[in-house]
Copies of this chain bind each other. A is one copy, B any other.
């Protein structure tokens, strides 16, 4: 408790800006002072994965802004918008502890006022993987991120590799629209047993939580096989599917794709370092995603690794 308090005492005071003009006033002042500004956009229900993004921003930038906004336009009509977990006070504590200076919150009414009609779309990269199973999702993501970048005006923005397709799409958006911001991807943070941290893990019943290990186990199996010389995409995908099937997880997709295009490898091409294995599966009612770029290290599970 003392340690936590002393940690908190060392952190900057967290400014709270709950409207677009309020956060603009904060970042305008920082820009006038010539500060670099790191930005971490989130939907709240923050976990250590978000903490790692904030910490990376705090190491590299003079000031760090995080936003918490559960963006309705990136949820499909049958998705979990209304029950998406919310814990703003917990979020504020986690942000302060990781070195965040300002928390921007807003409302759907402020972000999408009557008459709102402008959308930012990225073709190609958004078509496969989660784009195929969540129509409209990426249009919501790209539009809200374009808005948030315009509102906050950061020099640097931080996104997790857990949402790898999102990261690649946003890199494309920033490049194509000439936005004056550097995009940084940060490694997925995992539970000791390998499960990728996600706000949606909170939906999992204890028994589902155990079965959810199948995603990272499948990726680890595939990675180990690739390191051992297996480069056939279909065979690598089959290893992941095997884990998911054994755990009774309903596969949405298991795909072996080129990281740059997010498209399946051409026929006969071997999986290489820039090959991504991406998976989405439902455990009970909860849709989970994970991915692994074969050229990256895959962390060893240190606890609870299943058979």
Contact = CB atoms under 8 A, between A and B. Distances in A.
Interface of A: 20, 24, 32, 34, 115-125, 142, 146-147, 150-151, 153, 172-173, 176-180
Given A177-B150, A179-B150, A121 B123 contact: no
Contacts of A151: 178
A153 B180 contact: yes
Contacts of A125: 117
Nearest to A150: B178
Dominant secondary structure of chain A at its interface with chain B: mixed
Given A115-B172, A172-B115, A180 B150 contact: yes
A305 to B, nearest CB: 40
Contact of A177 (B32, B147, B153): B147
A30 to B, nearest CB: 13
A96 B120 CA distance: 35
Nearest to A139: B121
A115 B169 CA distance: 12
Contacts of A24: 180
20 contacts: A32-B34, A115-B172, A117-B122, A117-B124, A118-B120, A118-B122, A118-B142, A118-B172, A118-B173, A118-B176, A118-B177, A119-B120, A119-B123, A120-B120, A120-B177, A146-B177, A147-B176, A147-B177, A150-B178, A150-B179
Pairs of residues from A and B, 6 with the lowest C-beta to C-beta distance, nearest first: A118-B176, A117-B123, A150-B178, A117-B124, A151-B178, A118-B122
A234 to B, nearest CB: 27
A26 B153 CA distance: 19
A62 B177 CA distance: 26
Contact of A178 (B20, B124, B142, B176): B20
A116 B147 contact: no
Contacts of A177: 118, 120, 146-147, 150
A269 to B, nearest CB: 19
Given A150-B179, A178-B151, A121 B118 contact: yes
Nearest to A32: B34
A81 B124 CA distance: 26
A178 B123 CA distance: 22
Contacts of A124: 117
A125 B125 CA distance: 28
A176 B123 contact: no
Contacts of A123: 117-119
Contact of A121 (B32, B34, B119, B172): B119
A142 B123 CA distance: 16
Which of A24, A32, A120, A125 lies at the interface centre, i.e. has the most chain B CB atoms within 10 A of its CB?
Answer: A120
